[in-house]
Amino acid sequence: MIKIITVIGARPQFIKAAMLSKALQKRSKVNEIIVHTGQHYDDKMSSVFFEELNMPVPKYNLEVNNLSHGAMTGQMMINLEPLLLSEKPDWVVVFGDTNSTLAGALTAVKLGFKVAHIEAGLRSNNLNMPEEINRIITDRISQLLLCPTLKAIHNLKQEGFDNLTCRMVNTGDIMYDAAIHYSTQAAKTKSLSKKLNLSKYVLATIHRAENTDNIEHLMRIIDALNIINKEMKVLMPIHPRTHQIIQQNNIVCHFELIEPVGYIDMLDLIKNCTLVMTDSGGLQKEAYFFDKYCITLRNETEWTELCENGYNTLTGSDIHKVIESFHHYKDKNIGDKSMFYGYGNTAELIADELLKDI
């Protein structure tokens, strides 16, 4: 029996883990144990996802949250160490670039357990982003680098990973698997966009620290969205932390704010919107999956292939760039697309890679 411990803590990781779990369950000699670090602890951001995604309930919940970066990562490692020593996994699987990712990878490798990093090789080239530091370190100490794109492979090769004792594989993007699988499920449920009586609208999200922790950045983005809302409705499912900062600073939003939505409802909102505006990495891709142009409210992105091919544009918090980009994209539709992110079988390919040589 092969034992795999999957470490997750943030909402996008739940979605990716749900797809991997479905693939692993098809393999008869695999025991997957899910560990939830607790990083996303709000019920609307966490437990409801497990129910909605129909994924296994975590065997362990470390309940580490609401701490600084260092304290959170350190406490996760403290809690993970005895767990890993007790379970003795063949693989520790981590996703993406969060504190949970780094904590899982560091704890595992220090104890001599192999690490597989899903979404390896992404680079924004901005070391001021905590996520960039997390992904670089996680890549360097992982034995299996599961890359979502050829560009990610190229990034690793440029950094000399060919000379390291690790395996790099372009598996495609597991989020594409999820988008295909759960959008089919979304079509069978009552559409949130219809419940809200939406027609033409911009779907917007803000949650990155570079925007929420810099009040000037946040105010400029809100000002731009207020202006755009006069021409086309702007709808924002509001992240709890972003909402708190907006209220504390008396920032006025003239567009519609709604409570955080589940993944299936978010897919419905993406499929039916006119345009996406976000600082989320995952939402940039999901916009592309469903043929929507995206305006990214950051100065860089990990998904450079979308910008290079004109599907995405970077504006940062520059009001003029945001509004100019809105006018550029608002009446455009995406035609033929490249298969940057694989063919919807990424979870199966990852499962096969995990079972090699064991």
- Asked if 137 and 191 sit in the same domain, the reply is no
- Asked if 269 and 131 sit in the same domain, the reply is no
Query: Does residue 334 sit within a domain?
Result: no
- Asked if 157 and 304 sit in the same domain, the reply is no
For residue range 161-176, list pLDDT tens digits in order: 999 999 999 999 999 9
- Asked if 236 and 319 sit in the same domain, the reply is yes
Question: At CA 21, angle to CA 206 and CA 105, rounded to 5?
Answer: 65
pLDDT at residue number 74:
96
For residue range 189-211, list pLDDT tens digits in order: 778 888 888 989 999 999 988 89
Query: Does residue 336 sit within a domain?
Result: no
- Asked if 239 and 103 sit in the same domain, the reply is no
Count of structural domains, the chain: 2
Three-class secondary structure of residue 158 per DSSP = helix
Domain that holds residue 49: 2-173+342-355
For residue range 269-314, list pLDDT tens digits in order: 999 999 999 999 899 999 999 999 999 999 999 999 999 999 999 9
- Asked if 164 and 209 sit in the same domain, the reply is no
- Asked if 98 and 191 sit in the same domain, the reply is no
Contact (Cβ atoms closer than 8 angstroms) between residue 281 and residue 302: yes
Contact (Cβ atoms closer than 8 angstroms) between residue 290 and residue 271: yes
Query: Does residue 337 sit within a domain?
Result: no
Query: Does residue 141 sit within a domain?
Result: yes
- Asked if 85 and 192 sit in the same domain, the reply is no
pLDDT at residue number 343:
94
Phi, psi of 127 (to 5 degrees): -75, 0
For residue range 45-66, list pLDDT tens digits in order: 556 667 788 888 899 999 998 8
pLDDT at residue number 50:
74
Indicate if the pLDDT at residue 186 is higher than 70: no
- Asked if 142 and 111 sit in the same domain, the reply is yes
The catalytically annotated residue of 36, 40, 69, 207 is: 207
- Asked if 259 and 200 sit in the same domain, the reply is yes
- Asked if 195 and 64 sit in the same domain, the reply is no
pTM score? 0.91
In the block, tokens 């794109």 appear at 149
Helix axes 174-186, 346-355, angle to 10 degrees: 130
H/E stretch holding 128: none
For residue range 252-272, list pLDDT tens digits in order: 999 999 998 988 999 999 999
Domain with residue 257: its CATH number is 3.40.50.2000
Residue 217 annotated to the active site = no
- The one-letter amino acid code at 67 reads L
Mean pLDDT of the chain: 93
Identify the band that residue 76 occupies on the pLDDT scale cut at 50, 70 and 90.
very high
pLDDT at residue number 40:
73
Query: Does residue 222 sit within a domain?
Result: yes
